[in-house]
Amino acid sequence: MSLTKADLASALFDEVGLNKREAKEFVDAWFETIRQALEDGDHVKLSGFGNFQLRDKNQRPGRNPKTGEEIPISARRVVTFKPGQKLRARVEAYAGSAE
Amino acid sequence: MTKSELIERMAGEQNHLSQADVELAVRCILEQMSRALSEGDRIEIRGFGSFSLHYRPPRMGRNPRTGESVALPGKYVPHFKPGKALRERVNEGASD
């Protein structure tokens, strides 16, 4: 099973009391606000959940796995997610109960 | 940007909601996301990315103070894979 924007919107409807339209807009605005901050070059820190960080990568040699041809992988900025202590602990607890 | 800055920014845009409602809603979203992962579910947000669990097998660790070996059990850790739209916007943001 996987959690989607629709699930988040229905939680906002059930638990916070937003109407359906407000809930859907809120979920869209939430992810858009995070995306915009990252696009602007800001790290995003959500205490208890984790941090979205940006890393600038230099150009490096790559290879087309199908043809074996060498092609450089251009320099780029990428997003990484570092889970927070609290989230790590909760996820580890799941692993414990599954075994 | 911290959680409280994010809440402020969203409250500024969602004028029909009180600051308190925005805070509640943000807390609700983060709790839903944390709970999904802690129950072993994935999170899939198109244009943003997906969260899933990666397994780390058991290994022998060492107590750095005593040098003693300790058996560390296998565990799951949260993993995020950015979606296409996020990857592209972040990378384009870098070249502006």
Residue-range domains of chain A with CATH = 1-42 (4.10.520.10), 43-94 (4.10.520.10)
Task: Test A98 with B40 for CB contact under 8 angstroms.
Answer: yes
Residues spanned by the domain of B4: 1-41
C-beta atoms of A34 and B94 within 8 A: no
Q: What is the pLDDT of residue A99?
A: 45
Q: Which residues pair with B12 in a beta bridge?
A: none
User: What does the pLDDT look like over A64-84, one tens digit per residue?
Assistant: 899 989 999 999 999 999 999
Q: Chain A within 8 Å of B58 (Cβ-Cβ)?
A: no
Residue ranges for chain B with pLDDT beneath 50: none
Q: What is the ipTM of this complex?
A: 0.90
Is residue B71 situated within a structural domain?
A: no
The answer to whether residue B3 is domain-embedded is yes
DSSP 8-class letter at B17: S
Q: What is the pLDDT of residue A41?
A: 95
Residue A95 pLDDT: 57
CA–CA separation, B70 and B93 (whole Å): 45
Domain assignment of residue B10, yes or no: yes
Asked if residue B19 belongs to a domain, the reply is yes
User: What pTM was computed for the model?
Assistant: 0.90
Contact B41 A83 (CB under 8 A): no
Give the E-state strand segments of chain A in sequence order. Answer: 2-3, 44-46, 50-57, 60-63, 70-73, 76-83
